[in-house]
Amino acid sequence: MDRDLASIAAARRAAETAFRAYQTFLDVDPGVIDQMVDAMARAIEPEAKRLGSLAVEETGYGNVEDKRVKNLFNALSVADYLRDVTTLGLLWQDDKTKIAAIGEPMGVVAALIPVTNPTSTIIYKVLSAVKAGNAIVCAPHPRGVRSGVETTKILAETAEQLGAPKGLIQCLDQVTIEGTAELMRHRRTSVVMATGGPGMVRAAYSSGKPTLAVGAGNVPCYVHHSMAAKLDEVAEQIVTSKAFDYGTACVAEQSVIADRSIARDLRHELRLAGAYFCTSAEAERLASVIFSDRGTINPDRVGQSPSVLAEAAGFAVTPKTRCLIADQTEIGAHTPLSAEKLNPVLAFYEARDESEGIELSMQVAKFGGWGHTAVIHSDDPKVVARYSRIPTGRVLVNTPAIMGGMGYSTDLEPSFMLGTGTWSGSITSDNVTALHLINIKRVAYENRPWRDIYDEYGQ
């Protein structure tokens, strides 16, 4: 059979099976669902490294150790958060207004899975969907099918052992663009969770179904001169965040903007933390390696180590190099390295003062990163307040972007789906959780005589 036809047929079968399972799942007690979520998280723990290895082997992106950490975060931290969250049944009631809120599932979730995080995203989306009482069908990227199917198998088998109906948790094993599109627009699909490239996100919003989708993350990181005594820690945070899984996370820093008075010292600390500053010629060649002639990201260079990227660009770095940094003075399409880079590469800018630092950060965020995340390192709350005008859903303070944005080093909700708001066409700017996957029904008693309307708004 033609691959597209086979994928479309598989998507239709999965959606119908998921809908039947969802209808059965409606009768399961929320307490039992909580047990399932905890059990699925525990089942991932001993498999986290193996799944990470499978993801790297299949996709060629990132590294095993950081994939392992991503898998554990999306199992354990997400499960810890969900344990204290009520999604089904009575959410709250107000005796004064005589209103109660009831949480009910949405139905079948179509979950689009990115090639950069083919296992960890499935873990996060499955736990969240099931916690909210839904069925879920994952549609992996074609380069992440094997690792996606294996991850889903562990989760599904664990849930089924505790009474979940077969088909509640699925992953397509025959994937094409047409098949994924069919899953999204299928009559049984209730909501789409889309994580991936711009094309995938556009397709999700065009499916005709309610959609939770995220945009690109061109994350600026402004270092204010008030951090002069702490630049070693600032540098370690920046390098660790950008080097994590070889830069595959869109929430990682993309450009560092430093006040001129501390720029020299910050450069020194960044080098000590494992960064290599490219010459102008090396930076130009590096840009041609990680971007196409049209300015789009070269998928073959996503999630590659600094040494691999440097070799491809015709220069060499030591094995201990953790990220590559290129000095830049301009921002925009004519300066490729000022855009989002899904690899361990940073742009570096010097700002004359605070005003220019905030303005440069604003320009970076607006160049392909509207609504996502911005980072500031400052000990001055007034500066943080001024910086928070940047149009992003998250402004992270004195923390690594990836750990802060996903809700580990901050008290943001643990999530691997960071909404970007209407700045970039998303329906939410929240860290998406199970609470975004329920319908909330209001039960409202009469609280004032209905006939009073004629007295209040008389003839």
What are the catalytic residues? 250
Cα 151 to Cα 17, 146, 190, 455: the distances in Å are: 19, 9, 23, 63
Find out whether 447 and 402 touch, Cβ atoms under 8 Å: no
Which residues partner with 212 through β-bridges? 193
The pair of three-digit structure tokens given for residue 276, joined into one six-digit string: 């290599």
Go through 310-330 and write b for each residue having 16 or more CB atoms within 10 A of its CB, e for each that does not: bebbebebeeebbbbbbbbee
Which residues partner with 332 through β-bridges? 335
Find out whether 63 and 70 touch, Cβ atoms under 8 Å: no
Find out whether 343 and 372 touch, Cβ atoms under 8 Å: no
Cα separation, 126 vs 111, whole angstroms: 9
Rg, Å, the chain Cα set: 23
- Nearest Cα residue to 380 out of 226, 172, 195, 174: 226
Alpha carbon 89 to chain centroid distance?
28
Please enumerate in sequence order all residues whose Cβ is within 8 A of that of 269, keeping only pairs 6 or more positions apart, or say none: 231, 232, 234, 235, 236
Q: In sequence order, which ranges of 254-353 are alpha helices (DSSP H)? A: 260-272, 280-290, 306-312
With vertex at residue 400, the alpha carbon angle to CA 396 and CA 406, rounded to the nearest 5 degrees, is 70
- Nearest Cα residue to 248 out of 56, 50, 27, 84: 56
Alpha carbon 87 to chain centroid distance?
21
